[in-house]
Chains A and B, each alone.
Chain A
Amino acid sequence: AQKVTQAQTEISVVEKEDVTLDCVYETRDTTYYLFWYKQPPSGELVFLIRRNSFDEQNEISGRYSWNFQKSTSSFNFTITASQVVDSAVYFCALSIMNYGGATNKLIFGTGTLLAVQP
């Protein structure tokens, strides 16, 4: 069975602080995708990143960076110099690659509520 754990329920930081959101996943499959989504107070799910299991390179996009470590089954997300607009719930998700193409559901973690105080 697949599972995604986001142990941090809530994090509060002051603007300009760096913050790391943790994500640990479980799967026996060797081919899978990992995702991060942002859910602002307005409720929509905003795609941030997708990473496949064969690519362990870390990625940086502006103030965002992701650290993927297969050895520890973790896919952590760091926001550098946080801003008030980063306040949201952040979800990590896992999808098993099915070459039949018929499944591909996302399994979400419980989310981390990030509050950035001015």
Chain B
Amino acid sequence: EPEVTQTPSHQVTQMGQEVILRCVPISNHLYFYWYRQILGQKVEFLVSFYNNEISEKSEIFDDQFSVERPDGSNFTLKIRSTKLEDSAMYFCASSSAETYGYTFGSGTRLTVV
């Protein structure tokens, strides 16, 4: 069964550093998403991406965040200057309008120290 692949699985970074979280969505999916889950809390929507542009973003997705689809397969989330409160699990997801399948990756646990 097709998978959404996220790398790395765990990243530790120092406060103020830039991080890039990487995702490879399912190949025939056209809609891409990032979600965040702070430890012990619910999963929160960050941003959706379609047709090479952001289609919706939440209040969490401020100027420190950006997304990019640099080639035909990768979908990245960049945090420019990490803060302690950015420590969370970040999930990538992709979906298909035809089947409305909605698949999550296994997540990247980001720890900011």
Residues of chain A having any CB pair with chain B under 8 Å: 33, 35, 37, 43-45, 47, 50, 91, 93, 95, 97, 101-111
The listed residue (A35, A103, A109, A110) touching B102 by CB distance below 8 A is A35
How near does chain A come to B107, taking the closest CB pair, in angstroms? Answer: 6
Q: Name the distance in Å between B17's Cβ and chain A's nearest Cβ.
A: 23
Contacts of B89 in A (CB 8 A): 43
**Residues of chain A within 8 A of B45, CB atoms compared:** 105-107
Known: A43-B109, A103-B55, A103-B56. A110 touches B103 (CB 8 A): no
Least CB distance, B109 to chain A, in whole angstroms: 7
**For chain B, which range describes its interface: under 10, 10 to 19, 20 to 34, or 35 or more residues?**
20 to 34
B residues near A45, Cβ cutoff 8 Å = 43, 91, 104, 107
A37: chain B residues at CB < 8 Å are 104
Selected contact of B97 from candidates A33, A101, A109, A110, CB within 8 Å: A101
Measured between alpha carbons, how far is A101 from B103 in the docked complex, in Å? 16
Contact A105 B107 (CB under 8 A): no
B102 and A106 contacting across the interface, CB-CB below 8 Å? yes
Taking a contact as CB atoms under 8 Å apart, the answer to whether B42 and A43 are in contact is no
B56 touches A105 (CB 8 A): yes
**Interchain CB contact (< 8 A) of A105 among B30, B41, B48, B109:** B48
B66 to chain A, nearest CB (A): 18
Chain B residues near A105: list those with CB within 8 A. Answer: 33, 45, 48, 56
Closest chain A CB from B103 CB (angstroms): 7
Contact B104 A33 (CB under 8 A): no
On whether the beta carbons of A102 and B48 are closer than 8 Å, the reply is yes
